[in-house]
Amino acid sequence: MLIRRPADIAPSEITPRELYRARRDFMARSGRLALAGAAGLALPWTSADAAVLANVQPNRMALSDKPTRQKDVTSYNNYYEFGVDKDEPAKNAGTLKTRPWTVTIDGLCNKPRRYAIEDLLKFAPLEERLYRMRCVEGWSMVIPWVGFPLSALLRAVEPQGSAKFVEFTTLLDEKTMPGVKYPILDWPYTEGLRMDEALHPLTILAVGLYGEELLPQNGAPIRLVVPWKYGFKNAKSIVHIRLTEKMPGTAWNKAAANEYGFYSNVNPNVDHPRWSQETERRIGELTKRKTLLFNGYDEVAGLYAGMDLKKNF
């Protein structure tokens, strides 16, 4: 058998990445559809369902941490609108329709606007950001997000001087979200940040991960990513952003204020009533590691100078 070395292969014989990816995606979808049709079942979404994002700038927030496997990132999720178990969002979120999609930005700003998701994908240069992410339940991941700074969008609508907070509201749709039929939380899911947190360079609106568009179970088509806060602060499938003077109510804080504070910064010194926060287990690893204050992002410490972080948890 003749084995050709790379030097023997003409450039014209190398399949372009985009064509290879499209062919792989088509074959993967066809295989799943055939199996689903034969079994009469709806199969979960996988990375093969995501479109490759174009013109993504190189990672400007590089970490030495090893990224979590894409398979784990897209199959082990908290997204209660699609189920409370970690594997349920990937199984159930295929019903979510992400086109057409709009995000309204209003409140205390001079230029309120409604953006189509297609416009947001082009709003600012997309960057890959490798971020540590920490769940309040004690597990963590390292995820290569694709997105743009939230600050770019906020500055475009010109916040008024009285705007102190930013509220995020996510999609509420009983037809596509089976979990909202149950009173687990006060639907729709809402979250919030202080204005200086929202404007911090680390805070992004993510539209993809691993170079591909977000899948439904990961918060498609656009979600908040604040890497120094616990995972539930990172609102998924956002439809409304509102600038306010008063601190907004948030879903988990309204459900259990003694367990989920408004700030919810990663803090090994403040335990959740049901879990210690001193250590964490990174998905894909067997041993636990020490939890880092602010998830290791020391550059945000100045945002909380003079605050009692045990009281303002």
Domain presence at residue 280: yes
User: What's the number of domains the chain is made of?
Assistant: 1
Residue 296 banded pLDDT, cuts 50, 70, 90: very high
CA distances from 11 to 3, 16, 20, 221, 228 (A): 17, 10, 14, 35, 44
Tell me whether residue 236 is in a domain.
yes
Say what percent of the chain tops pLDDT 90: 81
Examine residue 29 and state whether it is found in any structural domain, yes or no: no
Q: Is there a domain that residue 56 lies in?
A: no
Segments forming the whole domain that contains residue 208? 69-304
Q: What is the pLDDT of residue 44?
A: 66
The predicted-structure confidence for 235-276, as pLDDT tens digits, reads as follows 999 999 999 999 999 999 999 999 999 999 999 999 999 999
Q: What is the mean pLDDT of residues 97-109?
A: 98
| Domain CATH for 140 | 3.90.420.10
Q: Give 23's pLDDT tier (boundaries 50, 70, 90).
A: very low
132 inside domain: yes
Cα 215 to Cα 46: distance, rounded to the nearest angstrom: 8
Q: Looking at residue 36, what is its pLDDT?
A: 42
- Whether 59 is in a domain gets the answer no
Reply yes or no on whether the pLDDT at 43 is more than 90: no
Q: Predicted confidence band at 20 (pLDDT cuts at 50, 70, 90)? A: very low
**Integer CA distances (angstroms), 123 to 8, 50, 107, 147, 207, in order:** 43, 20, 20, 10, 11
pLDDT at 166 over 70: yes
Residue 49 pLDDT grade (very low, low, confident, very high; cuts 50, 70, 90)? confident
Q: Examine residue 310 and state whether it is found in any structural domain, yes or no.
A: no
Residue 26 has what pLDDT? 41
Is 34 among the domain residues? no
